[in-house]
Amino acid sequence: MYNVIKTHSFVLLGTLVALLSGCGAENGAQNTSSSAASNGGSSLTSSSLTSSSADTQSSLAKSSSETSSAISSSGTSSSIDIVSSSSASSWDNGNNGTMVTTLATAAAVSGDGLTLDKDGNVFVGTSKGHTIYRVTPSGTITLFATLASGSANGSDFDSKGNLFVANESAGIIHKISPDGTVSDFLTGLDGPAGIYIDEADNLIVGMFGYAAPAAKVLKITPEGAISTLASDGGLTTVVGVAGDGNGRYFAANFYTGEIFEVTGGQVKQIGAGGTRVNHIKYSNGYIYTPHPLTQEIVRLDLLGNFEFIAGIKSVIGTADGAGATATFSRPNSIDISADGKTLFVLEFVTGNVRAISLGQ
């Protein structure tokens, strides 16, 4: 059984807050001075993003030791109720049967965005190199596609096998055909960061947002017609988006970590914040999320209860093994196998792809 942790609030202490304030979004976010088109209408035209991504990417290049030091020296102060047979006081509190292995090393350093195809291949993007790599189930890494510029962030496949990739820093959603041919599906967007493709091949897009009204979740039809699925209601710097395949949608705030249901234009918070959340994945009643600052993988049920999956809080590393002893290096992207038994996680620092057997 997983250990259930109902989270009421988290408070990040001064050093960690200072670290956060100095960093851009892990997925290639631009400075707020970036010039991007407003996307409130039903169609968007191409716009020129005038600011360079160099400053942001420089901030993302902080060494893992610097990040680890900042986290370790500051720690966190938490107010939580632990609903568990264990009396442990941390998230890393028990053997839940999960096992962590490394599928591939350095597959996408400064990685951001991971998704699986129908054959179980893992596709990972780089927030700096604007490249997408394919990792086979046996761990073989090959280059799949290269974008002209910008960043390769959140991604997902449609029913025809086309891969859609959010290019946050360039404001573009790319469509990549099964043979690796890249085209621009939409341009002039205001920080597209995460993508989930639903059962009707609609793109649900998390918009990090730099221009008012800033962060939102868009719904884009296969023909490219755009509507706003959700905005306001607590949404800020949205990256992660997910869905249940039956018309329910979810979104996460990048910096503060709140998780919302955004079905039908209604924004309802279901998970408390307190730590950074990048990409998310829904499966069988749970929202799975890596926490890149606490180095943990957790899942959230729809009543707001968190359950620990793997990682050691605030410890950066690459150790495989049981979930409670394995370590991660800023895990930020996630997907799950078709049978729901294995999670795949991309690490920002190392570019490693980790596989987590859920032991259920």
Domains of the chain, first to last: 4-95+143-315 (2.120.10)
- CB 345, CB 104: distance < 8 Å: no
- The residues, ordered by sequence, that sit 6+ positions from 109 with a Cβ below 8 Å of its Cβ are 126, 128, 349, 350, 351
- Position 212 scores a pLDDT of 57
pLDDT < 70 stretches in the chain: 1-95, 211-213, 360
Residue in 262, 285, 261 with CA at minimum distance from that of residue 271: 261
For residue 357, with 0-12 CB atoms within 10 Å meaning exposed, 13-18 middle and 19 or more buried, which class applies? middle
- Tokens 């970590």 label which residue? 257
Side-chain-facing half-sphere of 314: CA atoms under 13 Å = 14
In SS3 terms, 259-271 reads as EEECHHHCCEEEE
- Position 95 scores a pLDDT of 60
For residue 4, with 0-12 CB atoms within 10 Å meaning exposed, 13-18 middle and 19 or more buried, which class applies? middle
- Position 32 scores a pLDDT of 32
Q: What is the pLDDT of residues 286-308, one digit of tens each?
A: 999 999 999 999 999 999 999 99
Q: In this structure, what token pair is assigned to residue 324?
A: 């409670």
Residue in 331, 322, 326 with CA at minimum distance from that of residue 352: 331
- pTM comes to 0.77
- Position 52 scores a pLDDT of 32
- Position 35 scores a pLDDT of 30
Over the chain, what is the mean pLDDT? Answer: 78
